């Protein structure tokens, strides 16, 4: 292993960084309303099971491949290949992962910029800077570009700092802040009228709804996005782990935190929505479904915050700060994918690789902002609906078919002499060989056709 490579200093540092990558905007703006509209606690239960049946095995593919190579995805996939054809396809797969990770960051940074704008707008308004505050939240081209640039600069600043002094340090600061803020906000909202109603909608189980095939497939797809899979973010984080760590249990902890925080977000979002409803805010769309995603975050909740009076200032700032933090710990993992590749392949310094990659991706974001109406949705679909699942299949194929079984076992034995007799070794190899690719392809076909 190259000694000049960065490495996570502690296991907790790694778990917080990987969980930080997983816990992002998707957990807070998608999951809670999806659960509430689709069977409440029954959906939460099904989601938990699916996350472990499909997403966890793929997460393990990435962590094992990365730790084995102690290198980027292109290197990892070529290293386990013995033939020149599989080496070539592996390198191409790794390279596409780097492109898709960059594309995800290019749209994610725009949304994250809105979160920053809303975070700053409340305190600014209370200090009398009404016009600035207004400008930050009006979704115009100049404000979108400015906020995206600020967010991208923050992301690059952390990544340039390195694995230990940048990514790990900031993740261990930001993740506890995120969890404490989430719990604090949920506890506050519980005290308001209407909260219990929301809690009921969120949690009352309705098993008749979750048994639909479509819903299960949708849940599988979101679990995949939520765990940051396919594009090599978890692979590159895994490459910075020491050989002493027991990967199957570390991966399980990361998956549990991701699902746990999505569930916890529901304890804030649903009660908050019903509190808003009790104050006359519309929380349903024309078809009677709960409002979600951007309308929920930028219309419903701000109306609630305004109705809270002076305390609304603090609640709103904390909430949008929370969203910004969730986005930042995810975006650094996306940027690390191209940066690690450039550093290892071209031997550039981290600073040069980080500034170049982020400037390039920022340019892409600017193009999206200038052509928002058609380009934004297209980039989201290309990267998350097509890119992530197809790359996920390729990673499973490499771990399941290309990687030599004895070499794989040797990787697991590095920190577990009994790995051969573990449940993981009995189940996982054939599972990623057959079950994972098949299931992902079925989900993919249904979402595309
Ligand atoms: N998991 C992140 C979220 O839920 C998104 C993400 C996707 C991050 C792919 C990295 C790579 O918001």
Asked if residue 18 lies in contact with residue 336, where contact means CB atoms within 8 angstroms, the answer is no
Residue nearest to atom 3 of ligand 1 (CA): 24
Structural domain contains residue 223: yes
Ligand 1 binding pocket includes 334 (Cβ within 6 Å):
yes
Probe residue for ligand 1, chosen from 73, 221, 226 as the CB with the greatest number of ligand atoms within 8 Å: 226
Residue 3, in any domain of the structure: no
Q: Return the residue whose CA atom lies nearest to atom 7 of ligand 1.
A: 228
| CA 359 to centroid of ligand 1, rounded, Å | 20
CA-227 nearest atom, ligand 1: 1
For 81-102, write each residue's pLDDT tens digit.
999 999 999 999 999 999 999 9
Task: Calculate the alpha carbon distances from 206 to 40, 41, 42, 274, 445 in Å.
Answer: 6, 7, 6, 19, 28
- Between CA 78 and CA 73 the distance in angstroms is 8
The answer to whether 222 and 259 have CB atoms below 8 angstroms apart is no
Residue span of the structural domain in which 207 resides: 11-263+306-448
In a domain, 283, yes or no: no
pLDDT of residue 3: 42
Residues 140, 134: Cα–Cα separation, whole Å: 11
Kindly report, residue by residue over 348-370, the tens digit of the pLDDT. Answer: 999 999 999 999 999 999 999 99
Q: How far apart are CA 162 and CA 89, in angstroms?
A: 30
Instruction: Indicate if ligand 1 lies below 6 Å from the C-beta of 230.
Output: no
Task: State the pLDDT at residue 4.
Answer: 67
Backbone angles phi, psi at 296, to 5 degrees: -60, -50
Q: What is the pTM of this model?
A: 0.95
- What pLDDT, in 10s, does the model give residues 36-46? 888 888 888 88
Q: How far apart are CA 41 and CA 202, in angstroms?
A: 7
If one counts the domains in the chain, the total is 1
Inside any domain, residue 355: yes
Q: Look at ligand 1, atom 12, and give the residue with the nearest C-alpha.
A: 24
Task: Report the distance separating Cα 277 and Cα 290, nearest Å.
Answer: 11
Within-domain flag for 224: yes
Q: Is 240 inside a domain boundary? A: yes
* Whether residue 155 has its Cβ less than 6 Å from ligand 1: no
Phi, psi for 157 (deg, rounded to 5): -55, -40
Asked whether the predicted pLDDT for residue 373 surpasses 80, the reply is yes
In a domain, 299, yes or no: no
Confidence of residue 2 (pLDDT cuts 50, 70, 90): very low
Q: Is 228 touching ligand 1 by the criterion CB < 6 Å?
A: yes
Residue 236 lies in a domain: yes
How do residues 397-415 score in pLDDT, each as one tens digit? 999 999 999 999 999 999 8
Q: pLDDT tens-digit profile of 55-80?
A: 999 999 999 999 999 999 999 999 99
Q: 125 C-alpha to center of ligand 1: Å?
A: 32
Q: Which CATH number characterizes residue 169's domain?
A: 1.10.4160
């Amino acid at each position: 292993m190259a000694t000049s490579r960065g490495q996570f200093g502690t296991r907790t540092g790694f778990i917080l960084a990987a969980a930080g990558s997983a816990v992002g905007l998707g957990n807070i703006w998608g999951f809670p309303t999806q659960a509430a509209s689709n069977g409440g606690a029954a959906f939460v239960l099904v989601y938990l099971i699916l996350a472990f049946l499909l997403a966890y095995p793929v997460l393990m593919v990435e962590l094992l491949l990365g730790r084995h190579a102690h290198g980027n995805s292109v290197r990892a996939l070529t290293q386990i290949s013995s033939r020149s054809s599989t080496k070539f396809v592996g390198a191409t797969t790794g390279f596409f992962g780097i492109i898709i990770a960059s594309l995800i960051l290019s749209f994610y940074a725009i949304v994250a910029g809105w979160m920053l704008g809303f975070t700053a707008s409340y305190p600014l308004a209370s200090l009398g800077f009404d016009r600035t505050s207004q400008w930050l939240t009006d979704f115009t081209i100049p404000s979108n570009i400015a906020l995206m640039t600020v967010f991208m600069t923050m992301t690059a600043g952390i990544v340039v700092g390195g694995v230990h002094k940048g990514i790990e340090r900031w993740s261990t600061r930001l993740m506890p802040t995120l969890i404490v803020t989430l719990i604090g906000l949920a506890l506050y909202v519980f005290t308001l009228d209407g909260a219990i109603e929301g809690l009921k909608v969120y949690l009352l189980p309705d098993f008749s709804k979750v048994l639909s095939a479509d819903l299960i497939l949708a849940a599988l797809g979101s679990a995949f996005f939520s765990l940051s899979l396919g594009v090599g973010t978890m692979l590159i984080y895994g490459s910075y782990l020491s050989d002493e760590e027991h990967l199957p249990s570390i991966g399980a902890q990361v998956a549990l935190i991701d699902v746990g925080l999505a569930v916890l977000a529901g304890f804030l979002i649903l009660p908050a929505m019903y509190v808003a409803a009790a104050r006359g805010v519309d929380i349903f769309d024309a078809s009677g479904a709960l409002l979600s995603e951007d309308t929920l975050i930028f219309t419903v909740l701000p109306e609630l915050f305004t109705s809270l009076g002076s305390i609304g200032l603090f609640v709103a700032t904390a909430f949008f700060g929370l969203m910004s933090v969730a986005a930042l710990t995810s975006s650094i993992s996306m940027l690390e994918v191209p940066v690690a590749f450039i550093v290892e392949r071209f031997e550039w310094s981290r600073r040069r690789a980080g500034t170049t990659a982020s400037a390039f991706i920022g340019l892409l974001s600017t193009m999206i902002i200038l052509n928002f109406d058609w380009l934004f949705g297209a980039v989201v679909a290309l990267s998350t609906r097509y890119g992530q699942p197809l790359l996920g299949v390729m990673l499973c194929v490499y771990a399941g078919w290309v990687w030599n079984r004895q070499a794989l076992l040797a990787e697991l034995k590095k920190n577990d002499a009994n790995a051969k007799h573990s449940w993981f070794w009995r189940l996982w190899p054939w599972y990623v060989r057959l079950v994972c690719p098949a299931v992902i392809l079925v989900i993919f076909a249904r979402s595309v056709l």
